[in-house]
Structure 1
Amino acid sequence: MTRQKVAILGGGFGALTTAWNLTATPEQREKYEVEIWQMGWRLGGKCATSRDAQNRVLEHGLHFWFGCYDNAWSMLRDVYEEWEKPAGCPFQTGLDAFDAQDFTPLWTQQADGSWGFWNVTWPTNDEHRGNGQVELSIRGMLSELASLLKLILKKSGREDHPAHATLDRLEEDLLAEGAAQRHHESFTDVQNAFTPHHEKSLPMGNLFRDVLHIGAAFAAGIVWDVLVRRKSLDALNAVEFREWLKSHGGNAAIVDGSSVVRAIYDCCFWYQEGSHAKPSVGTGTAVRVILRIVTTYKGHVMYTLKAGMAEAVVAPMYDVLRARGMKVHFFHKTTGLHLDADGKGIERITLAKQAVTPNGYEATTVVDGVPTWPVEPYWDQLENGAALKAAGVDFENHWSPPYPTEDVVLTRGTDFDHVVLGISMGGYKPLNDAEPSLAQELIDAGGPFARMVEGIGLVPTLAAQVWLPETTEQLGWDARPATVGGPEAYDIWADMSQLNGVEGGSGSVHYFCGAYATTAYREPASAGDTQSAALADVTAQFGDWVAANGTVNWCGRAAGPVPPNESYIRANIDPAECCVGSGVGEVSLRLSADETGFDNLVLAGCYVRTGLNTTCVESAVMSGMQASRAISGFPETVLGEHYL
């Protein structure tokens, strides 16, 4: 049997998941010959990681896996079962490469403008990650939400509050086919019980009240719009989430000012062009994401990594895929997708070969049982590697100094039958008049693909990592915190000191990230100082942030700047590194993997329409499963794809 050839362009989670499923069984491997074409020296996309000269993990930003990521957890478990682990590997199941993160204190700003924290510890459950059971009904999820609100009352010592009895009745009533109107009235009663009677009675920082008020408004809105009016969540994407909350009784000052609402916007980077002044997410998407996180998590609400993302997850996938016979062509940057004469499919793919590897390329090195990626290519494996390094070449960056390339052309029928576009949308979205898109022919053809690419915006981000000599306890914390909703722009922060296990360090490790308000990602490659200027900007911003807020989150540390050699700062403005928006009017433009309109092209990436429709690992994994199914019919189902 002649195998069908699949060219996967890009090496992020969506692309890797596609390859994983296309080669998942001996039968699949007999049918499909799969190759990945990836620019630069690493896999992982936005989750690519590396080790520096001090053996410290360097990330694109802070990555959490939520307990509701059922498809991702299931795949990770299968990867580790098949992976031939290096000697001394500290992780045996994949699931053990993550630490539970139950303690998530929420930043809160007081009336005088000062910042503090409201400590939050999430309840746990006995469910197992990746067990395939997440399909709750809307009533079942509302019942789970009522139970959570009741638990908040209990933990706050307010079990005698009248709202508790209302929630108690509602929790049981929702599971029966009761009147939706009655459910709405019950949630409205809870909401009203925690609504200020006058704006002057609205002190900032009352997050206990805010959670109950917003949670009840959220639930009342779902009951009214979905159960009573029979609207779909997709239809609700036409309304901005904060405005929707207000339309269902949410107090404007709480909705606009509380960290409770900001937390989800920060977590998902729901800001147009990275600007906190332009928050935007479709209500249907916000509802799906919140309900998935809050009501369907397994074990713990959130997990943090004990190693780099691309060490604990990507490198094992890479090893297994190679063992299955799949090829990865590093140092190949896609430059063009070219249509056939009828405009119905991809006839040719052009790539720029960025470097010559005379003896092949070994991409990872095992350190203490963990496969690691370098912060730069292994220059000694490249032809003229020393000269390329001296010239400051960065194969991953849009504004790299120029370097010689060789044209590579793949043709349909000879080199590929199917194409998986696994490159982040920013990598092919037209951004300026000087540079045509690598998918320009497809965009010029019009149709849904063009509308998606032209209509969905990008969100640049910034990130910082800090290594401090003080331990978590010495900094004033009894447990490792992970927080959102903080002072801009580094409004997400997590103590990641569990990484001392693989970095061999002591003291504490801290990751920060946030949306970055800039349009620098639109600059053409000829604007060679774009990346360095952005890095200088975000570095200065981080210095200002630490000066203003460092003694709040690190109360056990003396005030002062973080030494440059103890920090790593990134401006994620490369178009391919930007996140994709989920704003009002954008989600409806997303396509499922098989909806490109071109007969041999499928999509993979977290911008694909999956049922989550926001930037996260689970969305990327679901997109890869869709892409594999579009080509091979496997897997038949994608868990949560038609969620609500």
Structure 2
Amino acid sequence: MEKKKIAILGSGMSALTSAYELSSYENWQDRYDITIYQMGWRLGGKTATGRGPNERIQEHGIHIAQGWYENAFRLIQDSYKECEKHNLMPDSPFKSWEDGFDREDTTLLTHFDPKTNQWIKKNIIFPSNNYIPGQGGPLPFSAIVKKAVGLILEILFGTDPNKKSLLSAASESAKEIKAPEHHSLWENFKSKLEGFVKDKVFKHEGEKLLNYVAELVQHLSEGDHDHSARKDHHSMINELLDTLSKWITKLIDSIADHDEYFYWLAVFVEFGIVNMKGTFDDVYDPETHELDYERINELDYREWLQKHGASERLLSSAMVRFLYTGTFHNLTGADQQGSLAAGVGLHFLTNSAGYKGSFVWKFKAGTADTMITPIYLVLKNRGVNFKFFHKVEQVHYSDSGAIEKVSMAEQVTLKNGTYTPTYKFKNLDVWPGEPLYDQIDDAQAKALKEGKYDLEESWCGWKNVGQVSLEKGKDFDYVILGIPIDVLGGQEGICKEIIENNQAWYNMYHHVKSIPTMSMQLWIKPTLKELGMNLPDWGFPEGSLPNLVTYADPQYSFIDMSQVMPYENWNEDKPGVLIYYTGSFLDPEEIPPFSDHHYPHEQLERIMRVSEQWLRDKMGWFFPNATTLEYPEGMKLSVIHDFSKAAKTDYGRLKTQFFRANVNPTDRYTLSLPGSNKYRLKTDESGFENLILTGDWINFGVNVGYYEGAIVSGLQAGQAVRDKLGLPSETAIFNGVKLK
């Protein structure tokens, strides 16, 4: 076989994963070469990390790993294992992948109660388990349903002195519950479960029926039933859930308005039942016996919940808002109240319930320091080539059926022709917040620093030093396009020629939307307890580092990330707590052309001003010891660490922290709006025989913007190239929960 050349454009998680997949096979270098072309000085795309004053870690936003990120954890585990095998990180404090993470089981939900005009909170401690993420594939759907049923049963019938009135109300409302004895399957089903029932002591008919649902789902996913039997099982599940839904609606209406405690119970139980009922009504296909989430993607998630009987209380609850804010969809839709494809939202929710180990796994150092570094070192050691400071300008259209030419700019001249992107700090290979200028031509390095040019910024105005033209057959045989969708079209789009000449690309670019996000990192001098947030008083174990995704706009997500501070550079001046914040925001009416070099700086100033006011208005609930008479609901900014040591105003002190306005086309968050999924192209649907697509904007399955999805699409891209070369692929791709 003639040796082929593969050019990968971009270096986000999908592009890096495609390179990792392609280079994971024995003797791959006998078949092809791999070169990654990357704008700027670092890898990782939206997961890239930089360093600032005091070697502080600077992120694009909040990045964590969730326990259901099966492909991501497998990739991380494999890269650490290979680094150990080849001694690529000999002095790293992270000897294994486990060393690079802290587990966290606590989450905080908040809800604004318009009746009392105040926020109310609910802490959740997700029970840890013995599963290891990245090993064994996703949990089966039946196991997730059993977990959900178990949680509902614990909420309704678990031992808790506060539940006496609930149990009384449940017993009273249960008088109308009737098992579906008329169903043709009922007698047979009852006899099969006699042993199960004998071993259980049911306090309540509702408890019995909920257990029956879990058992039926288990039977439904077993392989020894024929089509007719599965349809009967499905029919009976629907009847049981319909019965339970009517009972729980009546029960909840009798308790929900009593107090805050019962409000949260009502929301949790209704949320579980409505989602289960909707899943078996709409998503489970009785003909194919598969879960088909695409069937409801024309609807908004709230619209779909309402269709299945969700109350207004549930629709406005933190449980529902969690999906919109957690996926940056909270400002979308015609009324800017949120719009999220129902199938995408439900699939994301179902996957989340299948977490392994802990619900949240936090990186101990920067995202890139912990995750990108070992991947980069493995790829480099395998022989993958990296071309930094290469900015793609056009993937040219051709009517030959193949991509014939790619034009790109060379941003700077490197002294030695190659670039080493990391440096050592506390024995970690870390990534700088700006280029390592000593590797760049001296005159260019001086001009970059004096002009404060950001080579990752579309509006920066830097004059590139050269042009590079890649040609088919000479520089590449196959191209993997791993650059975000907002870069592809528009006046400056790198695929505008293709979009103008291909209807499928035109539809995709104009229907798959994105939104800018903001982030703020605050290094605060007092500890949480000194600020007035005593964790046990909030229902959290001492030592936990809570996270929150449902607070007030715009910085509605925040998380304690103090565990990374040992990998920053602090002496006696170490802050007491480090908190990351993030949220989405809306574009101005018109986004200016790239010739307007002030635009990103104006947007950064905009979010800093908004964040200043938000802190003064909102953080007092969490930090009561940091309030003032002037700002009784907020926090005084004097508690923030002053990196300049010379700030004369509160805003000057705030400006020494780290902010990002992710307005660059490469940084925006890809949305999954109702009706947009059908316009996404799959990895091998570019319409060109040698062009493979990858990224969170393609149709990779779950289709929501998160790096686990980007990794899935990267695996798909790598395997698509192998398939075109007639080579086998062995890596399993886990793309969400399956029924069986």
Equivalent of 2:608 in 512, 523, 539: 539
Counterparts of 2:580 and 2:13 in 1: how far apart (Å)? 21
> Cα distance 1:447–1:203, how it changes in 2: closer, same or farther (>3 A)?
same
Which SS does the other structure have where 1:196 is aligned?
Answer: helix
1:169 deviates by 3.6
Q: What letter matches 1:127 in structure 2? A: Y
Distance 2:450 2:335 in 1: 39
Match of 2:272 among 215, 218, 221: 215
Q: Could you say what secondary structure the match of 1:20 adopts?
A: helix
Residue in 2 that maps onto 1:18? 18
| 1:287-312 deviation digits (Å, cap 9, x = unpaired) | 11000001x21111111111111110
Partners of 2:349 and 2:509 in 1: CA distance: 26
Match of 2:174 in 1: none
**Deviation, structure 1 residue 532:** 1.2
Contact 1:388–1:403 (8 Å) recurs in 2: no
> What is the match of residue 146 of structure 1?
149
| Distance (Å, rounded) in 2 between the aligned partners of 1:642 and 1:136 | 6
Choose which of 542, 547, 561 in structure 2 pairs with 1:482.
547
Matched, 1:638 2:720: no
Q: Distance in 2 between matches of 1:274 and 1:101?
A: 33
Say which one has the larger Rg.
2
Tell me whether 1:232 sits opposite 2:292 in the alignment.
yes
Q: Aligned partners of 1:593 and 1:555: how far apart in 2? A: 51
Change (3 A) 1:68 1:625: same
Task: Sort the Cα spacing of 1:299 and 1:97 in 2 relative to 1 into closer, same or farther, 3 A.
Answer: same
The alignment status of 1:126 with 2:130, answered yes or no, reads: yes
Call closer, same or farther: CA 1:585–1:275 in 2, change over 3 Å. closer
User: How many equivalent pairs are there?
Assistant: 636
Aligned to 1:332: 390
* Match of residue 530, structure 1, among 599, 618, 637: 599
Give SS of 2:468's match: strand
CA deviation profile, 1:211-263 (whole Å, cap 9, x unmatched): 111221111111222348768320210111101101111002430x2111101
* Equivalent residue, structure 1, for 2:379: 321
1:280 counterpart residue number: 339
| Structure 2 counterpart of 1:448, one-letter code | A
What is the DSSP-based 3-state SS (H/G/I as helix, E as strand, rest coil) of the residue aligned with 1:127? coil
Give the Cα–Cα distance (whole angstroms) in 1 for the partners of residues 41 and 473 of structure 2.
28
Distance between the aligned counterparts of 2:731 and 2:31, measured in 1? 17
Q: Which residue of 2 aligns with 1:400?
A: 460
Residue by residue over 1:141-200, the C-alpha shift from the partner in whole angstroms, topping out at 9 and shown as x without a partner, is 333321222233437654945554443343334323432333322441454145436998
CA contact (8 A) 1:226 1:232 kept: yes
Post-superposition Cα deviations, 1:15-63, rounded to whole Å, max 9, x if no partner, equal: 0000001111332232120000000001000001011121110000001
Identify the residue that residue 597 of structure 1 maps to in structure 2: 687
| Matched-pair identity in % | 27
Distance (Å, rounded) in 1 between the aligned partners of 2:657 and 2:731 = 45
Distance apart, 1:533 and its partner CA: 1.1
Matched AA of 1:459: I
Provide TM-score, normalisation by structure 2. 0.82
Contact kept? 1:274, 1:515, Cα under 8 Å: no
In structure 2, relative to structure 1, the CA distance for the partners of 1:235 and 1:501 (3 Å cut) is same
Q: What corresponds to 1:188 in structure 2?
A: 245
Which segment is superposed worse, 372-381 or 223-232? 223-232
* 2-structure distance, mates of 1:50, 1:142: 41
- Please tell me whether the aligned partners of residues 455 and 462 of structure 2 are also in contact (alpha carbons under 8 angstroms): no
- Of 604-613 and 489-498, deviating more is 604-613
Aligned-CA RMSD value: 2.4
Give the stretch that moved more between structures: 215-224 or 90-99. 90-99
Residue 54 of structure 1 aligns to a residue whose secondary structure is: helix
Task: Determine helix, strand or coil for the equivalent of 1:174.
Answer: helix
Q: Please report the TM-score for the alignment, with normalisation by the length of structure 1.
A: 0.93
- Give the alignment partner of residue 579 of structure 2, picking from 505, 510, 513: 510
Q: Which moved more, 1:1-10 or 1:531-540?
A: 1-10
Determine which of 681, 690, 713 is the counterpart of 1:623.
713
CA distance in structure 2 between the partners assigned to 1:258 and 1:571 by the alignment: 28
**Of 486, 502, 506, the match for 1:446:** 502
Structure-2 separation of matches of 1:629 and 1:215: 37
In structure 1, distance between residues paired with 2:317 and 2:596: 40
Q: What is the DSSP-based 3-state SS (H/G/I as helix, E as strand, rest coil) of the residue aligned with 2:58? A: strand
Which residue in 2 is equivalent to 1:104?
107
Q: What does 1:133-532 align with in structure 2 at a 5 Å threshold?
A: 133-134=137-138, 136-137=140-141, 139-153=142-156, 154=158, 158=163, 160=167, 161=170, 162=204, 163-177=206-220, 178=233, 179-189=236-246, 191-196=248-253, 206-227=263-284, 232-255=292-315, 257-271=316-330, 277-294=336-353, 296-342=354-400, 344-359=401-416, 360-383=418-441, 384-430=444-490, 435-475=491-531, 476=533, 477=535, 478=542, 479-503=544-568, 504=570, 505-519=574-588, 522-532=591-601
How much has 1:406 moved relative to structure 2? 0.9
CA contact (8 A) 1:274 1:517 kept: no
How far apart, CA to CA, are the structure 1 residues paired with 2:334 and 2:440? Answer: 40
8 Å Cα contact 2:284-2:292 kept in structure 1? no
Report the AA paired with residue 119 of structure 1.
N
- Structure 1 residues 211 and 501 mapped into 2: Cα distance closer, same or farther (>3 Å)? same
Query: Greater shift after overlay, 509-518 or 447-456?
Result: 447-456
Query: Among 594, 601, 609, which residue is 2:699 paired with?
Result: 609
Secondary structure, counterpart of 1:115 in structure 2: strand
